[in-house]
Homo-oligomer: A and B are copies of this chain.
Amino acid sequence: MDDPIRESGPHLAQLLTHAITGDGPLYRQLADGLKHAIDRGEIAQGTVLPPERALARSLAVSRSTVVAAYDRLKAEGWLDSRQGSGTWVLDPDEDAPTGVDAVATGRVFLTLRGDGHPTGGEQVSTDDDVIDLSVASLGGTGIIADAIAALQPEEIEALTAHHGYQPQGLRSLRDAVAARFTDTGLDTSADQLIVTTGAHQALSLVARQVLQAGDTVLVESPTFPGALDVFRRFAARAVPVPVDGDGLRTDMLADLVARTDPVMIYLTPHFHSPTGAIMPIARRRQLGEIAAETGIVVVEDLALADLAIDDVDLPPPVAAVAEGATVHTIGSTAKLFWAGLRIGWLRSPDSWAVRMLATKTVADLGSPLISQLIAVRLLERADEIRAQRRALLRPRRDLLCRLIEETLPGWQFVRPPGGLSVWATLPHGNADEFAEIALRHGVAVVPGPSLSVDEGNRRALRLVFSRPEPEIEEGMRRLAEAWESYSPLPTPQSSARLLV
């Protein structure tokens, strides 16, 4: 860009004055205002926008709001940025993502706000001044360093003497995972397993194999948001299935199947994401029967299975009790050890193993072997680490639950027996809006619509309790403060009291 036009914060603030007095989350209003200004030609293509802090000051909003608005417009192809060169306006007609990709691109932003970050650059939730209760992941401090230190030079030499192409994954890792599955009641051979780059890739591979554009997929509502991204990318139609305290409402399945003719169902039966519910064995059997009858492919994601907090007995995986059904079972090291390890696995029925391996091979010729070797070492210590995680998570969950009860009257939730998050329902209002206000108060949470088909669950939030207690305490204090500012009206309870 030679001689770029530079936009000042105060000038832009003038242009946007009317934009941010509308409805909805502030960052969206700001993003929409910018889009309209670009559309109307008030901001020319190539214009360099003011730094986030400057614009935030001019607009009297938090820097996080501007960051979120810029990020959204970058994800949608309206803006671009580069380290040292600032953020500038793109020609919206040039090379813009279209169709499925535009949807997926737009959506990824939402997911990433919840479960990851799109760049190594500025990130909403790692702003120094924001407490992050949005990312459902624990760090791997200590655990990973120990495992790397435990690698034996001889085993590294033995592995690296090989040319390094092992698309199915290390035999030793598959043996360990097969043994773990077998222990939980699901007979598994190493040949049925493919090592994947996290649970997310496992789901992507099955989707690639099973879904055609326009196919229907049944999905729990709410669910893991990355799954929704995958289904959108394959242009599948996701249909929500409600969950309750026992997970997926299998009593509604037969009717939904008859009405929507799905090819696949995706669920998280061990500590449902994000409610933490455990699906009882009877429901697993019922799902299995329906799947066996109709030929629907079942994908069960057990990524949270290792994060029991209370003394609970997990039933065997759906695959173990669904005779005659096609069930793919997904697991991961992300929640127990560390998400950055990016090692998960896919267990498929015998008859699918070859074609799933072909799909994996075409995708990337296999996941990194050293990370797999580290996973092998970690799985040897799984029981010990599980106990550590439990000791870590129990007081954090209890603290967060207590603070909801004490400081957020009227909020509904069920204390989860495991997992990383609490699913809370507001007594009134809109979760998207409130999450935006919470961000302005310095706490990041994920609103229900980001975890839901068709942006449902508009009154619910996911509150993650993976951060240390002091952060949870401060984050919840800010959340209560935000709620205070969001709810000047009496809550339904108090109005009920007034009426009595």
Contact = CB atoms under 8 A, between A and B. Distances in A.
A358 B168 contact: no
B170 A120 contact: yes
B118 A357 contact: yes
B82 A191 contact: yes
A413 to B, nearest CB: 23
A196 interface: yes
B141 A157 contact: yes
Interface stretch (A33-41, A246-254, A361-369, A395-403): A361-369
Nearest to A230: B362
Q: How many copies does the complex hold?
A: 2
Interface stretch (A51-59, A90-98, A257-265, A282-290): A90-98
Nearest to A226: B365
A138 B162 CA distance: 8
Nearest to A108: B358
B144 A163 contact: no
A426 interface: no
A341 B120 CA distance: 22
A398 to B, nearest CB: 22
Interface string A360-404: 011111111111001000000000000000000000000000000
A340 B148 contact: no
Nearest to A152: B145
A116 B166 contact: yes
Interface residues of A, number: 97
Interface in A336-365: 338-343, 349-355, 357-359, 361-365
A35 to B, nearest CB: 15
Interface in A128-157: 135, 137-145, 148-149, 151, 153, 156-157
Interface stretch (A14-22, A197-205, A431-439, A471-479): A197-205
A209 interface: yes
Contacts of A165: 112, 115-117, 135, 137, 339-340
A105 interface: yes
A159 interface: yes
